[in-house]
Structure 1
Amino acid sequence: MESVSGLAPSRAGRSASYGRGMCYVAVAATAWGTGGAVAAVLYRTSGLGPVAVSFWRLVLGIAVLAVLHLAVGERLGARWRDALVLGAGLAVYQTAYYGSIAYAGLAVGTVVTLGACPVVIALAARRVLGEALTAGRVAAVAVGLAGLVLLVGGGGQAGAAPVLGVAFGLLSAAGYAVVTIYSRRVGGDLSGATVASFAVAAACLLPLAVAEGLLPSVGGPGAPSAGGLADTAGWLLYLGAVPTALAYRLFFAGVAVVPATVTAVVTLVEPVAGVLIAVGLLGERFTLAAAAGAVLMLAAVAGLARTG
């Protein structure tokens, strides 16, 4: 942000930039929450597994961003180091998260992964970035984690290998922490590196996606019809455009001005959005404990929006 006559940005200017960054991160997290519901539909109807869905959302995200860049005349250039670090972090984060859900169950996988993220990032940000671990931020992390446990802790059963699932969840949190901490340490808006980082992540996922099954099932029992294939293409395009292309552009723009610990707590909006969509569109039940958890998580985000 530039200031008038080259002077340092005013407090009002910094506040506006911080508020805009918070909004970007919150919108990105909300978009990610919609992606979970869409992915759940694809798993049931397309024959695609989680790694293949992740691969296609990245490929289609690249296509959407490339079209937008060409439309507005922006260059697609990015430093290779940025692309490699961010792309590898995204690949680890997404793949390990799905592995956590597969082995530990949805509830345990979500709590471990999204619950560990703010803690890992807060500790790493203090050591690597020198960010202050204030009482307000510690309280926000604690309230957010309590809300997360209430939100998802009452649903689902543990998977077949919960210990392995927990390990994958912690690995996923580490991958997300790398993306967040690196973005803050490099400084500036890294949204221009989004396309290149998606390409690196997609390349990392391609062998796993091929092994899992890269294309939707066709012709077999329970395989989608021609109309079902069109629906699959539409859902994949949505995943590429909204929870991927739009969300990560906003996230990288927001994390440039919002402290890493604050960013981690704000992204807890993601499971709240996912649960609300599951209730509204998929007919899932919303318990009183889940409602209390959602309120706590949103309260943590609102508190950070006021105090930073």
Structure 2
Amino acid sequence: MSAVTSTSASAFRWGLVQVSLSGVLWGTAGLASELLNDATGAHPLVLGAWRAAGAAVILLVILVALRQLRPAIDLLRRHPLTVVGAGICTGLYQTLYFQGVAWAGVTVATVVSLGIGPVVATVVEAIAQRRRPSWLSLGVVAVALTGLLLAASAGGHGAGGTRPVEGVLISAAAGIAFGSATLIGRAPAQHAAALPLTTVTTTVSAFPASLLALIPVATQGAAVVPAQTAGQWGGIIYLAAGTMALAYLSLYAGLKHVPGSAALVATLLEPVTAAFAAFVLLGERIGATGWIGTALILFAVVGLSFEAPPADEEDPVRERLPDPAGEERVPVATGPIPRADGDPLGG
């Protein structure tokens, strides 16, 4: 294996670790939200809006402190469609998923919203690259989705909601939004630093999340301020800083080296973490089915590390980035340099 290939494989595996960390952090969000909802009675959409807005404020403060505001502005100016699109899809995913839970139940919403993302991403990438996905990729997705179904169904939240058909549809929309956010966000993640990209997309996501939160406020009289005590505010800060700011920072850092389809499989660690956290902190039984599902998801994530790292792949939503001098950036050949007589140097 050449030094370049070895470096690519190492970066690919490190990217998987970073994306997996995002899934672990998101897995704690459900438990934290549930505890906050029990303590405050806050509407889930209101909590989601505070989570996104709080994360945006935290990231903006860090961005200014590290003097990275200019790269963020340049990123938004040069690639407004991809950056804003990723942010809007992120905000829509959160709110649509919460509504899917209310209408179809936690199990159905989790399986549909998280399960549809890897499938859509695999198909989109295969079409963009004009080649069939490898058998390893297809096997990993199949194993991961089977594990997701088993883990979610064993969580003890299997009761359906009040509007199951609409719940399935809106959960599917949430999954498409999440998959789209990952695929769209991967393009700027190849060239932009993770902090400016995360700050811009998170700030954008706060707008649709806040607008949708106004619906229960206006129609149900939901409280705008979801916390009263210091402990409750601490929970909201954790949701914003840990499960949003740090999680998406880790996601975009990993997307620099990991394809969108592989990243979406790795994020299936979310229900695994949620089940384990409920087992440790709340004493909820997981059961044999849940443990089997957890093992399958972990097996699928480990299997991703054996996938060949993406080399010179065409990103399905990648933009051509301009050179600082104003000229279009041209791909550089990595093979032997030809001599004037046609013989390659070092060949």
Give the structure-2-normalised TM-score.
Answer: 0.79
Distance 1:185 1:16, change over 3 A: same
Distance 1:124 1:214, change over 3 A: farther
Q: Which residue of 2 aligns with 1:215?
A: 224
- 1:158 partnered with 2:160: yes
Distance 1:90 1:146, change over 3 A: same
User: Any residues of structure 2 matched to 1:1-308 within 5 Å, and which?
Assistant: 10-75=4-69, 76-77=72-73, 78-79=75-76, 80-128=80-128, 130=130, 133-154=133-154, 155=156, 156-186=158-188, 187-189=190-192, 191=194, 192-212=196-216, 213-216=222-225, 229-308=229-308
Shift of 1:190: 5.9
Mean Cα displacement is larger for which, 101-110 or 68-77?
A: 68-77
Q: Percent identity?
A: 29
Q: For the residues of structure 2 that align with 1:87 and 1:282, how far apart are their CA atoms?
A: 33
Contact 1:117 1:264 (C-alpha < 8 Å) held by counterparts: yes
Give per-residue Cα distances to partners, 1:21-42, cap 9 Å, x unaligned.
Answer: 1111001110111111101111
Shift of 1:84: 1.5
Give per-residue Cα distances to partners, 1:75-111, cap 9 Å, x unaligned.
Answer: 2423132331011101221111111111110111111
Give per-residue Cα distances to partners, 1:250-300, cap 9 Å, x unaligned.
Answer: 101111210121111111111101110011112211111100100011001
Give the aligned length: 292
Q: For the residues of structure 1 that align with 2:306 and 2:88, how far apart are their CA atoms?
A: 33
Shift of 1:195: 1.9
Shift of 1:130: 4.8
Q: For the residues of structure 2 that align with 1:73 and 1:123, how far apart are their CA atoms?
A: 39
Contact 1:82 1:197 (C-alpha < 8 Å) held by counterparts: no
Contact 2:94 2:209 (C-alpha < 8 Å) held by counterparts: no
Give the structure-1-normalised TM-score.
Answer: 0.89
Give per-residue Cα distances to partners, 1:39-84, cap 9 Å, x unaligned.
Answer: 1111111121111111111111112112222332222423132331
Shift of 1:214: 4.9
Distance 1:70 1:190, change over 3 A: closer
Code of the residue aligned with 1:205 in structure 2: it is A
Shift of 1:131: 6.8
Mean Cα displacement is larger for which, 176-185 or 235-244?
A: 176-185
Q: For the residues of structure 2 that align with 1:169 and 1:282, how far apart are their CA atoms?
A: 26
The structure that is helix-richer by fraction is: 1
Distance 1:179 1:128, change over 3 A: farther
Give the number of the structure whose alpha-carbon radius of gyration is greater.
2
The unaligned stretches of length 5 or more in structure 2 are 217-221, 309-347
Cα RMSD (Å): 1.9
Q: For the residues of structure 2 that align with 1:256 and 1:204, how far apart are their CA atoms?
A: 26
The unaligned stretches of length 5 or more in structure 1 are 1-7, 218-223
Shift of 1:9: 7.0
Shift of 1:243: 0.8
Shift of 1:129: 5.1
Code of the residue aligned with 1:11 in structure 2: it is T
Code of the residue aligned with 1:82 in structure 2: it is T
Q: For the residues of structure 1 that align with 2:131 and 2:277, how far apart are their CA atoms?
A: 34
